[in-house]
Structures are given as structure tokens and as C-alpha cells.
Amino acid sequence: MAPDRVARSPGRRASLSGRAFGLFVFLGSFGCQNDTETTWTQYNASDNVVSIEVGAVEVTEAVTVTLTSNTGEVELGTGTVDPGGGPIGTEHTIIVVVAEDYASDIDRASVRLDAGERGEDEYDLDADATGEGYWVLGLFSVGDEGEARSDTLTFRLWTSDEADDTDTGSSGGISL
């Protein structure tokens, strides 16, 4: 019978509630803060660009660019837009495939769209759930009836600059 009285005691509940509240405040002050901010560094060359024809009469073949390292010396993969042109309202599939040797280095893929007078925007591609190195995005071309233009898409591969928790505090140099 005593355990029932303890559970029903208003004084006892207040004490437990106060302790629980204090525990949540204590845990919250340590576990819920995220002071790290991800900074991104572009991994590939800035001239990995294709142009697509928006407002073309016919749907055109896919356009592809070889994605290269920031120096342009190493081939990292490909960036493709399919189709490479078409009438207003055409859905264009944007695909990035990164070579297996570099796939684990890439944390994000995006495409910078320059539509001339219509402006610029950047879109993140969705990573494929089956593995590293494949990203995709679908975009519809937009324009007024009769409008024709050439849009430029710049493919950008990114690596994150988050602090590594395994850092030993070394000041640099070579360890043997």
C-alpha cells in the first residue's frame, strides 16, 4: 500500500517533476547545441559548363561535359543534361556521375543555372540512395510563348570543410 501513497503524493510528484525538469535543462545545455557550421569548397573546375536551348522547336540530344579537378588535369566524372534542348515546358534531367576513385570525396553536387535576363539560380542535386557518386535533378524549362534562348549550366562538386573529430592537435609536419 505504501508505494501507492508515494505515487499519489502531491509533494512527491512535485519533487520528481522538479528533478526531471532540472535533468532536461542540464542535458539540453550540453546535448542540443550544434555550433559547427559546414563550409563548402568547390572540388571541380569552374569551367565545367554546358548550354541548353530553351524554346527550341524540337527536343535535342543530351549534352555532356567532362567534370575535371580544380586544376583541370584530372577527370572526375561527367555532367549531363537530357535533353539538351526543347520547347518551353520540357523537363530536363540533370545527372552527375563521379568516378569511383573520387566519389567518397564529394559531399554535395549542384548546378548553377544562368538564364540570361531571367536571372541565375543554383540547385542542389539529389544523391542516389544506392551509393556514392551519382546525383540527379529534374528541372522544367520556363519561358514565354515564342521565347528562345540559350541557358548555361555550370556543374559544381563540393566537399565539406567540417572539423575532423579525430584531429590530434598536431601543428602540422610529417609524422613517422
Tell me the per-residue pLDDT of 86-110, one tens digit each, with 9 for 90 and over: 999 999 999 999 999 999 999 999 9
DSSP 8-state secondary structure symbol assigned to residue 125:
P
Dist. CA 42–CA 152, nearest whole Å:
18
Q: Sign (positive/negative) of CA torsion 54, 55, 56, 58?
A: positive
Q: Quick: pLDDT tens for 33-47.
A: 556 788 999 999 999
Q: Which domains does the chain carry?
A: 49-160 (2.60.40)
Q: Is the pLDDT of residue 18 over 90?
A: no
Contact 156, 44 (CB under 8 A): yes
Give the Cβ contact number of residue 115 at 10 Å.
18
pTM score, two decimals?
A: 0.72
